[in-house]
Amino acid sequence: MHGSVMLIELGAIILCLGLLGAVSVRFSISPIPLYLLAGLAFGQGGILPLATSDQFISAGAEIGVILLLFTLGLEYTAGELVGTLRSSAVGGLIDLVLNAAPGVIAALVLGWGPVAAVAMGGVTYVTSSGITAKVLGDLGWLGNRETPAVLSLLVFEDLTMAVYLPILTALLAGAGLVSGSITLAVSALTIGVILLVALRFGWAVERFVASPSDEVVLLKVLGLTVLVAGVAQKLQVSAAVGAFLVGIALSGPLAHTARELLSPLRDLFAAVFFVFFGLHTNPGDLPPVAGIAALLAVAGIGTKLLTGWIAAARLGTATTGRLRAGAALIPRGEFNIVIAGLAVAAGVNPRLGPLAAAYVLILAVAGPLLARAAEPLARRLRRRDVKVP
């Protein structure tokens, strides 16, 4: 009985996603906001809450983020990653300061204390790699000149999260200096090992994965990516970072084959991820914190636009590229909710969770819409500059 209900729910969700995707194609808009709103409708407090398929959707959402970041990694080689990270260190630090500050200030002004301030700083800082990856793909921006700057900032943020999350966890648990230092050291070591394999032994990974059968390549690549992501997460590192570095390790014709084979799975599970986020946001908790969330969202849009503008300008891109880079960085999502969830579970402040959810929901919807508006805005700015004597 429960099995049939689960199948009905899953079928209805996937069909609904297909219909929403058709609407997005018809009106030339990103489907992400529609997927998020569908999640709100099917979640707790929504119009038609799901009964039995939540666990499957949760696992599918994790796979969606992993596949999104893996396919992003396929766009670049290990050498390009290291070079980009070196060149993006200044931009990454600017990103950290500009975007963590609004959350820290808000928590302190509201009187929530220093631990909540550290948590809120993380909530307002990190961009949603999953949503940004989807936006870059949907709008055909992956080959643009500014895209390496965007990707380098995403990787910088994910690596920063590998350092930040153990520190936050230690603060929330009241752990001592020794325990927190051990957790941080394990995270750094794990990232180093995965990056070393990607840099020095990428040829071995390719030889292991390669096969004349597309079916075998699909199974090997998918299995390896999810396995490495899971091990990375177990060792206090982002699963997204692990998946991204697996993609980096593959190059050449094999990377092209892997991208073609995994694209349909990526699109399916990415849509499930956005629905999952909406499912776990109770609409009734949002109105009391909507005003503060809106103010933080406006600040977040401004700081990410400035971050992207500076990062793209360092690559010598024109105004259009700078606006595209800033707009692509606006969405918040998976990491932000994880951070808020850790803080709420530790009893920091009950309002922190709904505030983070409202903030993320606003920017998860506004980000793709603003990204689509970036190029028309740049064209208007150029025409105005031409007319000015």
| pLDDT tens across the length of the chain (389 residues) | 456 777 887 888 888 889 988 988 887 666 877 887 888 777 666 666 665 566 777 788 888 878 887 887 787 666 666 666 677 788 889 999 999 999 999 999 999 999 899 999 999 999 988 788 888 888 888 888 888 888 889 888 877 876 787 677 777 776 555 665 676 677 667 767 767 777 777 778 888 888 889 899 999 999 999 998 888 778 766 677 778 778 877 877 888 888 889 888 888 888 887 787 777 777 777 888 999 999 999 999 999 999 999 988 988 888 888 999 999 999 987 678 778 877 877 788 888 888 988 898 889 888 888 888 887 877 776 666 545 44
**pLDDT the model gives residue 369:** 86
CA dist 69 and 82 (Å) reads 17
At residue 283, the pLDDT reads 79
Helices (H), 110-176: 114-125, 129-138, 147-173
Residues in CB range of 335: below 8 A, 6 or more apart: 122, 126, 128, 129, 157, 158, 161, 238
Closest to 64 in 3D by CA, of 41, 32, 42: 32
pTM over 0.85? The answer is: no
Note the pLDDT of residue 174: 66
pLDDT at 256: 84
Q: Which residue has the tokens 């499957």?
A: 56
**Cα separation, 226 vs 240, whole angstroms:** 10
* Angle, CA of 158, 162 and 166, to the nearest 5°: 145
Residue-level pLDDT at 123: 93
- Tell me the chain's radius of gyration from C-alpha atoms: 21
CATH of 67-269+283-369, one of 3.10.20.30, 1.20.1530.20, 1.10.1520.10, 1.10.10.60: 1.20.1530.20
CB atoms within 10 A of CB 183: 18
CA dihedral over 318, 323, 326, 328, signed as positive or negative: negative
Domain residue limits, the chain = 67-269+283-369
